[in-house]
Structure 1
């Protein structure tokens, strides 16, 4: 069974294994910096569906099936699916998974959902409650703009602090055996809210939560940034990455050359006009299942700290003048040393 470390971290005695993964992205993501890492790039964001919401469900369903195929385990052996998205009542995930006939946990961690799903799926497998689980999430630019910001037809001008929601989905199969990368530690995050109210500056709202989780992880495990080949947050973008680094450094932990952010890596900001970078549940999910895990398979990275970040706001809370609470979950992924 896992061992509790410090305030929030779990060290797995029998680390679960990432045995398969898959991803699908939209055309803009497929034209970005990580285009060579994606399994499927769509030609258009509707993918033959009559709405963006239906397209997102189709994308998530396909990513889950890709991951299971890649894992080379019978679909019947998958016991639980942990997944979520940004749409009201998790409709993208619900309709994506309804025909899979598997027990399902619907999760809402905003853009941190890939981290949350990995944490819970890993705990379930390591605890002996399942041999195989799926962790997945998705987002869609058009659906997110429609729900949280402005209709696309309005053509509003976005400030430079705004990020661009990724259209895409990533899924991971976690098993109790296998030769793939191991999930050795997880540090579930707590809600941190420093009073940011600008929904067009998600990076500033989420950075304090990212810093809190990273610092807690270091304190709980006795590790530092030097113990990782790569430390990568979820979708803080340019603004949030800078703030996160400053907050962590103030606590005596140096985030230097091995630290980056999924929201910065996924798009070419100079050529694609994505302002502060990428965001959305799919941002960290496709970066993990594309760039990170494929580079780990090559041995480029052997120990990665993956920290998806989420802004826990809604249409109602923003309209009512509430601040934007943030959360971040850390997952340590390591190549087997056996």
Structure 2
């Protein structure tokens, strides 16, 4: 089907005015416009299950609407799956959890804002109030890729009262392999700014065209703000780096703070094991050529989950980390089926 033959998905843009994001440390807006896909038969008289679809780092809900030559947008993909009968009718919500640093990792942080609370509390309540949803947790799922996959997995582990199914596509995990190899490059970039995160970030924000070669430092800075904030300092220095910039040696206590967010670390806690075991569906996948070494973390996760007797499904596919939104064709029908029963 070419683009001229494609049907226009039924999308609305719901304004969500957040109380918990008011006066956040970065001055990011409390009013967010959230794309919501409504299935073909939606008319307000019948209720539907809901999937929350989380964007990756440096992306947000609107990113799923981006047109690209030769491929469908994610809402177009969902609409086609439903109309072909491959996926039960489902509402799909695409949250906006963007920050000035490029993302929130969907966590509550004193450096960025209370994005976990916003998503699992406020946003879900708004969607259930404004749309014809099946509001029980058994009819709600969460999914994402990369940082969105990390967010979906972590939130599913922490909030089994809110989600009964989850899918993680190439989600951040095994921080020793996916983040730590980037520390030397980040340290080299920081050295150009005499060790000043403030100087780096001020220049970054001032440029219309961002230098791709410096994105690594922004990424590490954003992760530090999410995993180890320092509210005693003003933005953009309100985080602890996990390494000493001059020597690039790990700072053990700082690194342990990061690793407490690692899904592999979380998997060792009984409460998270119980949460995963209670899910109707736990689905993970990753490209076997992932540039961030995430395939190794996912292999470790599935091995440990098998040892713990946690039912799940894991798939690898021959691709890299980027341009893999087509993998939602694998997870979304499974999630919709699980929460429609």
**TM-score, with normalisation over the residues of structure 2?**
0.30
Larger radius of gyration: 2
Q: Higher strand fraction: Structure 1 or Structure 2? A: 1
Relative contact order (alpha carbons < 8 A, sep ≥ 6): 1 or 2 greater?
1
**TM-score, with normalisation over the residues of structure 1?**
0.30
